[in-house]
Amino acid sequence: MEISSRYIKLNAAFEIPFDLTIGRDYPIELQGSITACTEKDGQDGTLEREYRFKAILGAIKGEGIPSVKLKDKTSKSFRLRTMITREFDLNYEQAMDGLMSDPVALQEFIEKQL
């Protein structure tokens, strides 16, 4: 089947230290990971592919806006999982298998993050 469209659904919630103005455009940077992919049949031989993106880091940028990194409301376990996955460029299970079988590598990883 041919993919007729691809799109990303964003999921993010951050605490911010100031009020925002309704109707104003704000440039926002997000960093996170794709957490799911769903395909929907278009009933005409095509598929729609939806990716779900969960943000773990973010920043509001722009003129006249104080530079601020957004406070992440994501659980610590999810942030750790993302950090491990990004550090080792593997899926989480492979990374954890490697870390758990090598206590020295686990200790070095933790010390590097602190």
Handedness of CA 76, 78, 82, 88 (dihedral sign): positive
Q: What is residue 23's predicted lDDT score, i.e. its pLDDT?
A: 92
**pLDDT tens by residue, the chain, 114 residues:** 788 889 999 877 777 778 888 998 888 888 888 888 899 888 888 889 999 998 877 888 777 776 666 666 667 777 777 777 777 666 777 777 777 788 887 788 778 766
Closest by Cα among 112, 59, 71, 66 to 88: 112
Q: What is residue 99's predicted lDDT score, i.e. its pLDDT?
A: 74
Whole-Å CA distances, 113 to 73, 74, 84, 106, 108: 19, 18, 10, 11, 9
pTM for the whole structure: 0.53
Q: Are strands 14-15 and 71-72 parallel, antiparallel or unpaired?
A: antiparallel
